[in-house]
């Protein structure tokens, strides 16, 4: 049997099931990754499993999201994560060491291994041939405890890269082109596997840009071969012993195919307010820019920023533009400082932020009212920047740097800034002094819990009758940013579910928390692709705290659907999508004889307010049915 790269790695790690597309499989997880925005909850859940020490090859806890210390809450969470990591055998990446995905690529990722991260952009490490998947924190906690990660055996889409990129065209333009072709819903239960001669010209950081932003497709993950370029990267990181060649078998069969002619590709931009709203830069005219932000986990490598430094060298940022740059890691920042590139960035007028997620998650640098921000990040959802009225565009570092000089979104191929085929460094100076390694004897380690850390909610066992009023009705492509906002004022409270509950769904309806409390919980009605975006489990936990036990939608994003099931909440789908139109807020809905109907997943719901009935589908496996009946994954595992 001729296998794809994806199938080879799954075959090596499969514990439950087989390589049959569309069936549930359970795979062994080699590594896990958390960050501080989702990590506190993941470790609280890990502690609830009563496991002394992680069972993975390597688990790493990063501090990179909640970096602004306007009060004690963030620092308290960091101390909790640091002590729980030391207690349970987890590597701890200290504040300032860098963004989890960039650092993991540099220092920990291993071709052919599996990685599960409590961040939707964990597929970044697919850039070096790792099967890296984003998931909710509870799934990561279970993996750390030695449990399998369950997923649908995915279809594998071949993305053939033909030819070679022209000067001024970047890896970011490749993934934007794929998003233009496939859309933000085009990756459900799919892995995007990159092939073709063009792959050989892309460095690992360039490949990682593509796999990172593959999350915006809704894909399970994205992956590149592990080849000579991978070996060069690992050798530069003094990790050549981790190299393993992994390529698809000749004649491997893919489920679908996308062809990208790199020779014909031009610089692209994602326009507000979706990563899938992609157009060529050449189509945009007279878009004045107020802010340019370069970095984030998508484009903050040394290769990205050395090109930016070369473009800015001898130039000055336009008068009306604020340019901020977030290096992806201490290694990147230190290298730029030592070779003089950092001085060129500063001389041009760039403001250098610390090595963290920063503006990408709305943690500082919000644009002004009605401002236009051009960013090299991966998401431009409305309000994510911290300014609801801002228009955010996404681009490559090349487009961003030239635009910062010109003051308008500008096509870089028209400007004489090209001698940028610089490649990545052949050797990096390695200094892991901000990574705290686990200790063997952790018996005397005390876990420190600040006053902001509150218990997380758990569902009760599923009842035979579910009844509630419709608390809100929302449309298509509702993101986890809508469900549980994650701006700079709320990020410090990621371990305080009762506080966050006051803001649940408020971007859609400011009255939602009050309505939920007045009705003792209820039901959410939604359109297509409900829960896209971040993997944050809070988008399930906070509604659960408010008494929501089911969401009825036309379709769900993968990670959010898993988070709902893991927390004992029903993700129901309209059998007839037009039934969505007949339901209104505060309609009373009821499902009777639910437990019997879980067997075939065909459920009838009555709208008692309108005297109507609707057919719903619950597409779950036997394992997921047991989880729902128990009231969530933690209850199920303990029982």
| Residue 205 lies inside a defined structural domain of this protein | yes
**Tokens 């279809």 -> residue:** 155
**Tokens 């986890």 -> residue:** 480
Q: Which of 413, 434, 458 is the last residue of a domain?
A: 413
pLDDT at 638: 81
Q: With 60 as the cut, is the pLDDT of residue 421 above it?
A: no
pLDDT at 68: 86
CATH number where 587 lies: 3.20.19.10
Percent of the chain whose predicted confidence (pLDDT) is above 90: 89
CATH number where 90 lies: 3.30.499.10
Q: Distance from CA of residue 454 to its chain's centroid?
A: 25
Range of the domain at 504: 466-638
> pLDDT tens, 526-557?
999 999 988 889 999 999 999 999 999 999 99
Are 241 and 256 within one domain? Answer: yes
User: What is the b/e burial string over 87-103, where b = at least 16 CB atoms within 10 angstroms of the residue's CB?
Assistant: bbbbbbbbbebbbbbbb
> pLDDT tens, 170-214?
999 999 999 999 998 898 899 999 999 999 999 999 999 999 999
Q: With 90 as the cut, is the pLDDT of residue 291 above it?
A: yes
Instruction: Indicate the range of 199-203, 423-427, 634-638 predicted with least confidence.
Output: 423-427
| Residue 30 lies inside a defined structural domain of this protein | yes
Q: Is 211:221 a contact under the CB 8 Å cutoff?
A: yes
Q: Which two tokens stand for residue 340?
A: 């003089």
Are 359 and 482 within one domain? Answer: no
User: What is the b/e burial string over 320-357, where b = at least 16 CB atoms within 10 angstroms of the residue's CB?
Assistant: ebbbbbbbbbbbbbbbbeeeebbebbeebbbebbbbbb
Contacts of 456 (CB under 8 A, 6+ apart): 41, 44, 45, 497, 541
Contacts of 386 (CB under 8 A, 6+ apart): 359, 362, 364, 365, 366, 367, 487, 488
Domain count, the chain: 3
Burial class (CB in 10 A: 0-12, 13-18, 19+), 461: middle
Burial class (CB in 10 A: 0-12, 13-18, 19+), 257: exposed
CA distance 279 to 281: 6
Q: Which of 318, 306, 298, 283 is nearest to 403 (CA)?
A: 318
Are 359 and 211 within one domain? Answer: no
| Residue 452 lies inside a defined structural domain of this protein | no
> pLDDT tens, 236-270?
999 999 999 999 999 999 999 999 999 999 999 99
Are 256 and 272 within one domain? Answer: no
> pLDDT tens, 456-502?
999 999 999 999 999 999 999 999 999 999 888 888 898 999 999 99
pLDDT at 486: 84
Task: Count how many residues are written for the chain.
Answer: 639
Q: Is 190:154 a contact under the CB 8 Å cutoff?
A: yes
Q: Is 272:380 a contact under the CB 8 Å cutoff?
A: yes
Q: Which of 376, 394, 413 is the last residue of a domain?
A: 413
| Residue 573 lies inside a defined structural domain of this protein | yes
Residue 415 DSSP symbol:
S
| Residue 548 lies inside a defined structural domain of this protein | yes
pLDDT at 193: 98
CA distance 218 to 212: 12
> pLDDT tens, 317-375?
999 999 999 999 999 999 999 999 999 999 999 999 999 998 988 888 999 999 999 99
CA distance 46 to 40: 10
Q: Which of 384, 413, 442 is the last residue of a domain?
A: 413
Range 625-639 average pLDDT: 92
Are 43 and 174 within one domain? Answer: yes
Residue 57 DSSP symbol:
S
Are 512 and 598 within one domain? Answer: yes
CA distance 121 to 216: 9
Are 137 and 66 within one domain? Answer: yes
What are the Cα distances from residue 279, in Å, to 183, 415, 580?
Answer: 13, 20, 32
Strand stretches in 124-211, DSSP E = 131-134, 149-152, 155-162, 190-195
What are the Cα distances from residue 355, in Å, to 93, 293, 379, 533?
Answer: 12, 13, 19, 22
Residue 194 DSSP symbol:
E
Range 97-122 average pLDDT: 97
Q: Is 19:10 a contact under the CB 8 Å cutoff?
A: yes
CA distance 578 to 271: 30
Indicate the average pLDDT of the chain. Answer: 95
Range 397-407 average pLDDT: 97
Range 230-234 average pLDDT: 97
Are 281 and 393 within one domain? Answer: yes
| Residue 617 lies inside a defined structural domain of this protein | yes
Are 252 and 280 within one domain? Answer: no
pLDDT at 82: 97
| Residue 428 lies inside a defined structural domain of this protein | no
Are 260 and 306 within one domain? Answer: no
pLDDT band at 422 (very low <50, low <70, confident <90, very high): low
Are 205 and 324 within one domain? Answer: no
Peptide linkage before 273 cis (omega within 30 of 0):
yes
pLDDT at 115: 98
Contacts of 518 (CB under 8 A, 6+ apart): none
Are 530 and 487 within one domain? Answer: yes
pLDDT at 639: 78
| Residue 400 lies inside a defined structural domain of this protein | yes
Residue 556 DSSP symbol:
B
pLDDT at 515: 98
């Amino acid at each position: 049997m001729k296998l794809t790269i994806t199938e080879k790695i799954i075959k090596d790690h499969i514990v439950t099931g087989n390589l049959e597309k569309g069936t549930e499989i359970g795979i062994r997880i080699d590594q896990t990754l958390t960050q501080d925005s989702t990590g506190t909850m993941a470790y609280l859940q890990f502690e609830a499993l009563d496991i002394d020490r992680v069972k993975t090859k390597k688990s790493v806890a990063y501090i990179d999201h909640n970096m602004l210390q306007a009060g004690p809450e963030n620092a308290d969470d960091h101390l909790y994560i640091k002590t729980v990591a030391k207690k349970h055998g987890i590597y701890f990446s200290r504040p300032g060491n860098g963004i989890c995905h960039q650092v993991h690529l540099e220092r920990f990722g291993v071709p052919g291994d599996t990685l599960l991260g409590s961040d939707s952009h964990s597929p970044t490490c697919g850039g070096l041939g790792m099967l890296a998947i984003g998931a909710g924190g509870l799934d990561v906690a279970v993996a750390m405890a030695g449990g399998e990660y369950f997923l649908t055996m995915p279809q594998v889409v071949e993305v053939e890269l033909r030819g070679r990129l022209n000067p001024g065209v970047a890896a970011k333009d490749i993934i934007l082109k794929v998003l233009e072709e496939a859309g933000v819903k085009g990756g459900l239960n799919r892995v995007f596997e990159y092939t073709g001669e063009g792959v050989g010209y892309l460095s690992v950081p360039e490949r990682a840009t593509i796999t990172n932003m593959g999350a915006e497709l809704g894909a399970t993950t994205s992956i590149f071969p592990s080849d000579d370029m991978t070996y060069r990267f690992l050798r530069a990181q003094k990790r050549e012993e981790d190299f393993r060649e992994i390529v698809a078998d000749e004649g491997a069969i893919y489920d679908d195919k996308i062809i990208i002619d790199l020779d014909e590709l031009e610089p692209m931009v994602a326009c507000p307010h979706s990563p899938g709203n992609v157009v060529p830069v050449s189509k945009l005219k007279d878009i004045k820019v107020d802010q340019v932000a370069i970095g984030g986990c998508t484009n903050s490598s040394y290769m990205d920023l050395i090109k930016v430094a070369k473009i800015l060298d001898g130039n000055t940022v336009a008068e009306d533009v604020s340019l901020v740059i977030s290096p992806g890691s201490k290694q990147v920042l230190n290298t730029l400082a030592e070779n003089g590139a950092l001085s060129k960035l500063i001389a041009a007028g760039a403001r250098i932020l610390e090595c963290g997620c920063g503006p990408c998650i709305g943690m500082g640098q919000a644009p002004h009212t009605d401002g236009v921000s051009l960013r090299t990040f991966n998401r431009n959802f409305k309000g994510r920047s911290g300014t609801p009225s801002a228009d955010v565009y996404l681009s490559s570092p090349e487009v961003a740097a030239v635009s910062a000089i010109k003051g308008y979104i500008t096509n870089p191929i028209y400007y004489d800034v090209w001698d940028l085929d610089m490649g990545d460094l052949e050797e990096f100076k390695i200094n892991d002094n901000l990574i705290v390694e686990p200790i063997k004897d952790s018996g005397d380690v005390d876990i420190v819990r600040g006053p902001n850390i509150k218990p997380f909610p758990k569902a009760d066992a599923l009842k035979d009758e579910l009844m509630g009023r419709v608390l809100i009705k929302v449309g298509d492509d509702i993101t986890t940013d809508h469900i549980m906002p994650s701006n700079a004022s709320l990020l410090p409270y990621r371990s305080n579910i009762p506080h966050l509950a006051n803001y649940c769904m408020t971007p859609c309806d400011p009255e939602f928390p009050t309505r939920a409390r007045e009705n003792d919980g209820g039901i959410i009605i939604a359109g297509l692709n409900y829960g896209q975006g971040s993997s944050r489990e809070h988008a399930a936990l906070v509604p659960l705290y408010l008494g929501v036990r089911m969401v009825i939608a036309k379709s769900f994003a993968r990670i959010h659907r898993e988070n709902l099931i893991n927390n004992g909440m029903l993700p129901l789908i309209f059998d007839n999508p037009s039934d969505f139109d007949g339901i209104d807020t505060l309609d009373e809905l009821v499902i009777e004889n639910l437990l019997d109907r879980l067997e075939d997943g065909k459920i009838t719901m009555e709208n008692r307010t309108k005297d109507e009935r609707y057919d719903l589908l619950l597409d779950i496996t036997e394992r997921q049915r047991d989880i729902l009946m128990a009231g969530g994954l933690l209850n199920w595992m303990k029982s």
